[in-house]
Structures are given as C-alpha cells and as structure tokens.
A and B are shown apart, each in its own frame.
Chain A
Amino acid sequence: MTVPTALVTSAVAAGSRYGFEIMEATGLPSGTVYPVLRRLERGGFLVSTWEDPAVALADGRPRRRMYKLTGQAAPLISAAAGKLMSLRGFAGPGLVSPEAG
C-alpha cells in the first residue's frame, strides 16, 4: 500500500466525505487524491453518492459527491493505520485509529 492510499483511506475512515475535504485532511494535492479515490472505488472499498439536493440548495451551491468506505474496507483501514504508524514521528491531523472507523 502506498502512503497516499493509506492517507486517503484513513482520512475517509476519520469522516472526511468530499474530495477537497480529503485533500485538506491529508495535505495531498487533488492530482493525487482523486486517482486514489477512483482506485478504491473500483476495488469496491469505497462508494460515492450525491448529497441531498435540499442541503445544496440551502447553501446556494451545486451538489457535492460524497465518499464512504464499505464493509470490505476494514482490512484496508487497519493496513493503512499500520503503514502510517510505521512512519516514524508521523501524526497526521484528523487521523484516528482503525477502531474509530
């Protein structure tokens, strides 16, 4: 597992839902985050849905696409946490242990 995949997985597990939100949480550029999301989605670890139109309308903006980990992602989440732990001195903002996901 690559570090960006671990970061994205952990960020979504920690509750980030939108693409740009995940970018903020991981500090990765959009050109890295989106390809990882597409791969996870193709692998069945992630599903995407469009947000409620009423919410978007209330905020006066177009609907955003939301990402959520599936049940299949449990081993991936622990692998991601392991990968990140192994990086000495790493402590990313907003990242939690796999149990919290």
Chain B
Amino acid sequence: MLVDPGPVDLNDSDASVRISFAIVALAARMVPIADRRGWHAEWHAELLAHNAMLRSRRSRNTWTWLRLIWHALGSFSDAWQLSAHGFGPANLVRDLGLACRSLAKRPGFLATAVITLALGIGANTALFSVVRGVLLRPFPYEDPERLVQLLGHREGETPGSGNVSYPNLHDFDQVSATLTGVVGMAGWRPALTGDQPQVLPGATVSWDYFHVLGVRAAAGRFFEAEEEGEGRVRAVVISHGVWTRQFAQDRDLIGRQINVDNESYTLLGVAPEGFEGPHLISFEGEQPVIWRTPWFEATDTFRSGRSWKGLARLAPGVGIEQAQTEVSVIMGRLIEQYPEENTDRQVTLSPLRDSVVSDSRSALLLLLGAVVLVLLVACVNVANLLLGRMLERQDELLVRGALGAGRGHLLTLLFAEGLAIAAIGGALGVLLAYASVGALVGIAGMWLPRPEGVGVDGTVLAFSLALTLGTSVVFGLLPALRVTRDTRLSAVSGVRMAGARSALGAGLRRTLVLVQVAASVVLVIGAGLLLRSFWNLQRVDLGVGSQGVMTVTMHGASWWDLEPEAATVGYRELLDRITALPMVNAAGAIDVVPLADNHSCDGFIPIDRPPPGPGEGECAEVRSLTPGALEALGVHLLSGRTIDWSDRSDAAGAMVLSREAAQHFWPDQEALGKAALVHSDTFSVVGVVADIRHFGPAEAATPLVFLSAQQEPWNGITRGLTLVMSGPPAIERAGQEIARAIQDVKPAAALEAIRPMRTLLANTTGGSRFRAALLLAFAGLALLLALVGIVGVISQSVTRRQRELGIRIALGAAPGRAVRAVLGEGVRITLAGLAIGLLASLAMTRLLQSFMFGVSPLDPTILAGGCVLVFGLAVLASWLPARRAGRIDPVQALRGE
C-alpha cells in the first residue's frame, strides 16, 4: 500500500529538470486521482535522483540534458498504462458489455435513441448509395476519364440535345489528331422476332464503338470496319443480359443468323457482363442492349440530319482544351466546305461524366446536404437523451471517481453507451437504406442516370460504418466530456451541489434544441419551395390529356415492306377494331407521342417568303399521324380541321400547326391556307391546334407541325407508329383487352409496354418529384426529431424547477402562471431557433433556385408558412410537458427536497 510521501521540494533550477517536471505533470492528468499524488512523487524523486547521478558522473552537457527529458517522456507510457485500467480496447469491450446490460434495463430510452439514429443513418446511407451509384462509380471502360462527348449546337447557344450529323462525325474521325476515335450512336428500337416477339432498346453505332470504349467481347467479337456502310452484312452485338435471357448463353449461336425486325442478322458477339452504355441514348431510362452498324455510307448521307450522339477518346497526352481547339478549327473547315448545313454550327467537347450526370449532380449534392442536416438533428437528439441519462448517473460517476476511476475510465464508460446505441442504430439504418433504395430510384424515374449501379455495396457499407462511428463520437463523447468535467470537480471538492448539478447541462440542452429548430426551419422551407414547384409543374396545361389516354407501340408487324396504300388499309382496320372497344372514345396513331423525349429539326420554309440563305433556314418538329390521333391525345382544335383519311398520298398536301408554329412562321397573320415546303414537298395549313408542351411541363411549347402519315415524305404510314386511344379513366386498366384487339388484327405484332400517358408525364417530372419528395421526407423527419427534443428539454425543465414552481404555487400563484412560465422557455428557444433558421433559409434557398418552377426563393407565403408551422408545433410540443407544471403539488415538491 502506498504511503503519502508528502510534498516534493522542487528547488532545482536546472532547466532540464523543470522541463521534465512539466512533462510529468502533464502525463499525471491521465493517472486516476487516487493514485496521482504517489505517482507524481515517485517520478519526481526518480528524476531528481537520476539527475544527481548524471551530474556526479560527468560534466553537464546537452546529452545528459536530453537524456533526462527522454526519461521524463516515459512517464506518458506509465500514465497511459495506469489510466488504461479503464481506457483501452480491452476495457472498451468490457464497458460495451456493461453499457448493453444497462441499456437493456431502459428499453424506452434505448428504442428512442436507436430509432432516431437509425432514421438519420438510414436516410444518409440510402442517399449516399444513390450518389455513389450515379456520381462516384467509375464507368466500366478503359480509362473512362478520357472519353468526351461531341455536343453539336448553334454558335453562341448552349447545347440542347447536342446531336450532330453522321457525316460531320465521320470527318472529325478522319481528320482529328487529338481524338483517337470518334464514334456516333443513334437510337434503334428493334424487335427480336420469333415465337414471342420482344421489343428491345438498341442503338445504331459506328463499327469502332466498342473499341473506343475499350471493352472486350464476352463471346464472339465486335464489329470490324468492313461491317459498316452500304452493302454490309447485317450483324448485331447483344448484351450479356439478352444473351442469357433469350439465348441461354449458347456459344454455338455466335456467328449464326437471328431474326431481328423480320430480317436475318448475324449474331457477331456479346458485350461483357455488366457493360453499361455511355448513357447518351436511353429509352425512358433503359439502356441499349442490342447494337448494329449504319447501313449507309457516312459520306453519302444528309449532313443536315442531326440525330446522332458523338463520342470520342482523347489521344494520349492530349488535354480537352487542346482537343477543343482542334475540333473548332475542323468545324471551321466543315463550315467552309458545307456552308448550307454547317453555317452557324459549333461542336463543344464535354467530359462524358459531365454529360451524363450534370443534370443530377447539383440536385443530389444538395439533397446530400439536406440529409446531413437531418443526421445532425438526429445526433443532437441522441446527445440530448444521453446527456439526460448521464446526468441521472451522476451519483454513480461520483462514486466511481472517488474510488479512483480516472476521467479516461469514466469517458470510456459513458462513450461505450453511445457506441452501443450507434452500433444498433447504424445496423438498423443500413437495413432501412437497403429496403428504401429501390423506392428512391423508382421515385426518380427517368431523371436519374445510371440507376442500375445504385445499391448498398461495400463502399456504401464503409460509409455507413464511418458515419456510425462519427456520430457516436459527436453525440456520445461530447456529453460525456461535459459530464465528467463536472464529476471530477465535485469529486475533488467533495461537495454535492444538488441544485447546480440538475442545472448542469440544461444550457447545453437548450442550445442543442435551438440548433434542431433552426435546421428544421431550413428544411421545412426548402421542402415547401420544392413542393410548390412540383405542384406548379403538375398544374401546367400540357395541351394534351394525361388522364384516360393509353399508348402502345407495335413492332415486327411488317409495315415496312407494305405499300403505303396497303399500310393505310391495315391501320384503318386496326383503328376501327380498337375504336369499337366499349371503353375507347377515340383512337389514332402518331410517330412520336408528346412527352417522349425526341428532338428533331426538320426544314420548314414558308413559300410566301424568299428562300433562306445558308444557315438561315428554320426548322420545326414534324410529326406524322393518322386521323383520330390528335382527338385521342385531347389536343384542342382552334381553327380549321384536323387530318382525316381523305388526306391521301394523291391528295393536296395538308398540315395542322400548333399555335406556336402558326405564330412563329406567320406572325400577325392568319396561318390557315398558307403553304410551306417541308423537306421539298408542299403542304397547306388546314388547321391550327392549341400548343403542346412536347418535352414536359417545365419546357416551353415548341413549334409542331402535324402531317398526314399517308402524305408525309418518308412514308410515315409504312413505319411502326404508336397507337394512342382515349376514353374514361377506366381505360388505363384495359391494357389486356386493347392488346387482344390489336393481336386479332395483327397477330405478328410485338407490343411494347401498353401504358397510360400519365406514366410519360410522371417520367418527365421525375426529377422534380424526387427532389420534392426527398426534401419533404427529410424536413418531416427533422421536424419530428426537433419536437421530440423540445418535449425532452421542457420535461427536464419542469423537473428541475419543481421546487421553485411549488413555492410559487404555495405562495398563491395560479397553476396557469406556472404553466406559462415553463411554456415561455419553450417559446423563447423556438423563437431563437426560428430566427436563426429563417436567416439560414434566406441564404440557402438560393441554392434551390435552379430546381424551382413558378415560385420565388423568397416566396413570403412559404417562408411565413414554414415558420408558423414550426412555431405552432414547437409550442404544442412545449405545452404537453408544461401542463405538468400546473399540477405540481407544493407539499410534494417541497418534501422531495
């Protein structure tokens, strides 16, 4: 047993001794209080004895000076060993066991803390898995950072669809030294015909498409140069998924013929498993799974036909700026060579990743910021809960401290509880994320690029683990530091300050709740603005009906080979059959359904004006349709008539314009009766219809031109058109009957998903819905957690002020006054939180501006509404526990003391 050696006399003025003593004094802070004096005395005595010995041995020099300090530094290792009595991995495991047992005795507390944390970590993990899958996951190509998209656009304008013409791409490929391969790709929607025809998303690509991406075939081979162009052998490459599902990975089929769109194609090879196209072409979110090469010579085709996406690989050692300079020079030459098609056009290079994720990046990062705020609120709540619990354990901690537990030991003990809660909450959170990721991707719809890579993988799990440990430090260690500081003071002074102790942490808890209220206000206002934007988008008049309208696309029905007259007869028969269905009011067919993302630009020249010079020609979106299509789509006729069956190929050309097109081409004039050249054929305006927002509610109405499919220059009637039919809302559930009716007339037709127009609308507003739904969920979560925090703080306040309130009631104060006194505290915290939150909102809602539609970031209704909502709920949350103040029995309250 140690004997107290009494104070140490420190009269040595030697600098090395003084430094050594200072080091030992610092190390002593780690030693448990009970052992500290003895430990200190031993190190002092040893250092002095050692110093005397060194001094007697040789003359003082730097070496002896350093040696003493080196020995003193060893005191840290000694002190650590002593404090490790309660602070170290082995003890943490023991304390974790202790924490789990003690938490099990408080199931209510445990459940609240764990659920709070699971929601916070779950929301963060789920959103991070989206961010990881979309923004962070590398493209599965060789050196993907060197791939660039060639974006075509008008000079001085930002690229829209970025489409370019195939001959221009071919010229870039031939001439450029800074790009090693330039490839083009365009959408293709073929049907694998056979027993069960199936429509697949596909693409027509340059022969060296896969070579430029740098991927290897899983079976067979990819295209060679001679397999592109006129007279080429028809060949396709298919995805690993199609090979597995349709051909059971049969290697014998490689090199054989398969039936695509009723034609024979050689199956050349299979793309590697997990191959992901560059996301420049997608069919409502679906990536191509079958590829063919162009069947025409690049030099022979229209240079004005801009319907291709361009992709290239930067040559080794070449930067994007250098390549851009060369591309601009080449484009300059192409303008000189082909002024008619290229004047006023420019090509901009953009890193592939930017092209693919630019739309979603800012929204995802913003949501990630919001969800971190939710986690902060959750952590604050758990910290508050733990602080309350630690304060309850003050007596136990005092005893432990008095018995020699160092601060390190007490910290580990308290931290272990936080860690245990975090571990359970984190595990639940990951499960929650796992369950909700699918729903998140579903809400986003087509808006989210690369959705196939979104999921809970190793990286996401590592993120959650880091989050769990990080949060446990925030909410476990901070309150523990606060509590143990006071424990030590109390232990040293030996005084138990009951009043001061219960007040301890109250200030901290109030501050934490204030932070929660502020964060909630920011999220509630942000959610309000995005929700309003989404609401506005839903209310936009698209110019077409979205309720009770069904669409279905047919493939493999051999229209292609039919003469226009035969095709017309076929369509009439089919449409008559469909119209005869009891729930169908109107039916027709059109080549591109509104809201399906498809930009085209077809030359349109009013014949009452002088012919335009090079680059001055105007264009419009030209649609080809049968009678009944505009009626089925619910487009309002403003004047004249719509297309009817009399608009045959041998009749005078007729066209119907949208109001935007009529005003654009004949401003301030009556468009009816006017004529224009559309791809060198003449058409007269026979009708004007209301505007259609073809590309979605957030986009302006585009000039649209509707031609009779029988008269359209490219024989639209012989191609596969999309059937549209309208009726009562019940029609949306009549998919089976519609399919049967079509197959009665055309048994060989492959039908694409029969779906309501609503689905297309939902796809175009996917981004807005995703942002609004997520921010709303986050705001709701944060607000709920903040309210729980307020209830906790006010409850604690009532308990703490029980004596004071008891005396006030005993002296004649009405119980209502006591309630108001406590309520006032809640109101003050809330008002302070509201003020901070409102200021933060004013600064932060600007970040949301690009996601808003028809609402200002400073919308007074939403700002005020958000504040009133938070304030009202916060006052309610304060009032619930405050009622207890009015029921305090003065006798009981005073007896308790």
A71 at the interface (CB under 8 A from B): no
The answer to whether A61 and B77 touch across the interface, beta carbons within 8 angstroms, is: no
Q: Is A72 engaged at the interface, CB distance under 8 Å to the other chain?
A: no
User: B81 contacts the other chain (Cβ, under 8 Å)?
Assistant: yes
CA gap between A35 and B27 in the complex, in Å: 14
Residues of B close to A32: CB separation below 8 A: 74, 77
Q: Are B8 and A62 in contact (CB under 8 A)?
A: yes
Beta-carbon contacts under 8 Å, B798-838 to A? none
Majority SS at the chain B contact face: helix
Residue of A nearest to B48 (CB): A61
CB within 8 Å for A35 and B77 given contacts A48-B2, A50-B2, A50-B5: yes
> What 1/0 flags go to A1-33 for Cβ under 8 Å of B?
000000000000000001110010000011111
The answer to whether A61 and B52 have CB atoms under 8 Å apart is yes
Give CA–CA (A13, B633) in the complex, Å.
101
- How far, in angstroms, from A19 to B49 measured CA to CA in the complex? 11
The stretch among B39-47, B508-516, B547-555 that forms the contact with chain A is B39-47
A62 contacts B77, CB within 8 Å? no
Chain A residues whose C-beta falls within 8 Å of the C-beta of B53 in the assembled complex: 20
* Distance, CA A49 to CA B75, complexed state (A): 19
Chain A residues in 8 Å Cβ range of B296: none
Within 8 A of B (CB), among A20-58: 20, 23, 29-35, 38-39, 48-50, 56
Is B71 close to A, CB under 8 A?
Answer: yes
Of residues 72 through 94 on chain B, the ones whose CB sits less than 8 Å from some CB of chain A are 72-78, 80-82
Contact present for A20 and B8 (CB under 8 Å) = no
A38 touching B78 by the CB < 8 A rule?
Answer: yes
- Which listed residue, B42, B72, B75, B82, touches A64 by the CB 8 Å rule? B42
Q: Does B60 contact A (CB under 8 A)?
A: no
Q: Are B3 and A31 in contact (CB under 8 A)?
A: no
B338 beta carbon closer than 8 Å to chain A: no
Which residues of the other chain, A, contact B81 by a CB distance below 8 angstroms?
A: 34-35, 38-39
Nearest-CB distance from B160 to chain A (Å)? 69
Q: Which residues of A contact B41 (CB under 8 A)?
A: 62-63, 65
Minimal Cβ-Cβ distance residue in A for B82: A38
Binary interface encoding of chain B residues 380-404 relative to chain A, with 1 for a CB under 8 A from any of its CBs, else 0: 0000000000000000000000000
Q: Which residues of chain A come closer than 8 Å to B50, judged between CB atoms?
A: 20
Closest to B42 in A: A65
Q: Flag if B45 contacts A61 (CB, 8 Å).
A: yes
Contact B78–A34 (Cβ < 8 Å)? yes
Q: How many residues of A are in contact with the other chain, CB < 8 A? A: 22
Which residues of B are found within 8 Å of A65, using beta-carbon distances? 38, 41-42, 45-46
- B80 surroundings in chain A (CB, below 8 A): 35
Contacts A29-B70, A29-B71, A62-B41: A18 and B46 contacting too (C-beta < 8 A)? yes
Closest-CB distance, A34 to chain B (whole angstroms): 4
Docked complex Cα distance between A18 and B50 (Å)? 10
Q: How far is the CA of A31 from the CA of B421 in the complex (A)?
A: 36
Q: Are A29 and B74 in contact (CB under 8 A)?
A: yes
Inter-chain contacts of A38 with B (CB < 8 A):
78, 81-82
The reply to whether A35 and B42 form a contact with Cβ atoms under 8 Å apart is: no
The residue of chain A having its C-beta at the shortest distance from the C-beta of B4 within the complex is A50
Q: Which residue of A lies closest to B77 (CB)?
A: A31
B contact residues around A19 at 8 Å (CB): 42, 46
Asked if B699 is at the interface of the complex by the 8 Å CB criterion, the answer is no
Closest beta carbon of chain B to A57's beta carbon, Å: 11
**A49: which B residues are within 8 A, CB to CB?**
3
Residues of A within 8 A of B78 (CB): 30-31, 34-35, 38
B9 proximal to A (CB < 8 A): yes
Kindly report which residue of chain A lies nearest to residue B70, judged by CB atoms: A29
Give the docked Cα–Cα distance between A62 and B38 (Å): 12
Q: Is B45 within 8 A of A64, CB to CB?
A: yes
Residues of chain A lying within 8 A (CB to CB) of residue B38: 65
> Within 8 Å CB of A29, what residues of B?
70-71, 74
B49 touches A64 (CB 8 A): yes
Q: How far is the CB of B499 from chain A (nearest CB, A)?
A: 40
Give CA–CA (A23, B49) in the complex, Å.
13
Q: Write the chain B residue with the least CB distance to A30.
A: B74
Knowing A20-B49, A38-B82, A39-B81 are in contact, say whether A62-B74 is a contact too (CB < 8 A). Answer: no
How many angstroms from the CA of A38 to the CA of B46 in the assembled complex? 16
Contacts A38-B78, A62-B9 hold; do A30 and B48 have CB atoms under 8 A apart? no
Contact with A along B1-25 (1 / 0, CB 8 A): 0110100110000000000000000
Q: Closest residue to A48 on the B side, CB-wise?
A: B2
How far is it, in angstroms, between the C-alpha of A48 and the C-alpha of B80 when the chains are bound? 19
The docked-state distance in angstroms from the alpha carbon of A40 to that of B387 is: 38
Nearest Cβ distance between residue B847 and chain A, in whole angstroms? 52
Which chain A residues border B73 with CB–CB below 8 Å? 30-31
Instruction: Name the B residues within 8 Å of A34 (CB-CB).
Output: 74-75, 77-78, 81
Q: What separation, in Å, do the CA atoms of A63 and B45 have in the docked complex?
A: 6
Most buried by B among A19, A29, A32: A19
CB neighbours (8 Å) of A30 from chain B are 70-75, 77-78
Which B residues between 612 and 626 are near A, CB-CB below 8 angstroms?
none
Complex Cα distance, B75 from A19, in Å, reads 11
A18 to B43, CA, bound (A): 11
Q: A29-B70, A29-B71, A30-B71 are in contact. Are A20 and B46 (CB under 8 A)?
A: yes
Nearest to A63 among chain B residues (CB) is B5
B359 to chain A, nearest CB (A): 59
Closest chain-A Cβ to B1's Cβ sits at a distance in Å of 9
CA distance A48 to B3 in the complex (A): 10
Min CB–CB distance A49 → chain B (angstroms): 8
Chain B residue at minimum C-beta to C-beta distance from A28: B74
Known: A19-B46, A20-B50, A29-B70. A62 touches B75 (CB 8 A): no
A63 and B81 alpha carbons, distance in the complex (Å): 23
Asked if B71 contacts A20 (CB within 8 A), the reply is: yes
- Chain B: which residue is nearest A64 at the CB level? B45
Q: Would A23 and B71 be within 8 Å (CB), given that A35-B78, A61-B45 are in contact?
A: yes
Q: CB-nearest residue of chain B relative to A62?
A: B45
What A residues does B46 contact at CB under 8 A?
A: 18-20, 64-65
Known: A31-B77, A62-B5, A63-B41. A18 touches B71 (CB 8 A): no
B826 smallest CB distance to A (angstroms): 52
Chain A residues with Cβ below 8 Å from B9 are 62
- Tell me the complex Cα distance, A2–B438, Å: 55
Q: Shortest distance in angstroms between A46's beta carbon and chain B's nearest beta carbon?
A: 13
Nearest chain A CB to B91 CB, angstrom units: 14
B75 and A61 contacting across the interface, CB-CB below 8 Å: no
Cβ of B49: which chain A residues have Cβ within 8 Å of it?
18, 20, 61, 64
How close is A53's CB to chain B, nearest CB, in angstroms?
8
A28 to B471, CA, bound (A): 41
Min Cβ gap A93→B in Å is 16
Binding site for A on B (CB under 8 A): 2-3, 5, 8-9, 38, 41-42, 44-46, 48-50, 52-53, 70-78, 80-82
Please name 23 pairs of A and B residues whose Cβ atoms are closer than 8 Å in the assembled complex, sorted by A: A20-B46, A20-B50, A29-B70, A30-B78, A31-B74, A32-B77, A33-B74, A34-B74, A34-B81, A35-B78, A35-B80, A35-B81, A38-B82, A49-B3, A50-B3, A50-B5, A56-B45, A62-B48, A63-B5, A63-B41, A65-B38, A65-B45, A65-B46
**Nearest 10 CB-CB pairings of A with B:** A30-B74, A31-B74, A31-B77, A34-B78, A35-B81, A62-B45, A65-B42, A64-B45, A30-B71, A20-B50
What 19 additional pairs, Cβ within 8 angstroms, besides A20-B71, A34-B77? A18-B46, A29-B74, A31-B73, A31-B75, A31-B77, A32-B74, A35-B78, A38-B78, A39-B81, A49-B3, A50-B3, A50-B5, A56-B45, A61-B48, A61-B52, A62-B9, A62-B48, A64-B46, A65-B41
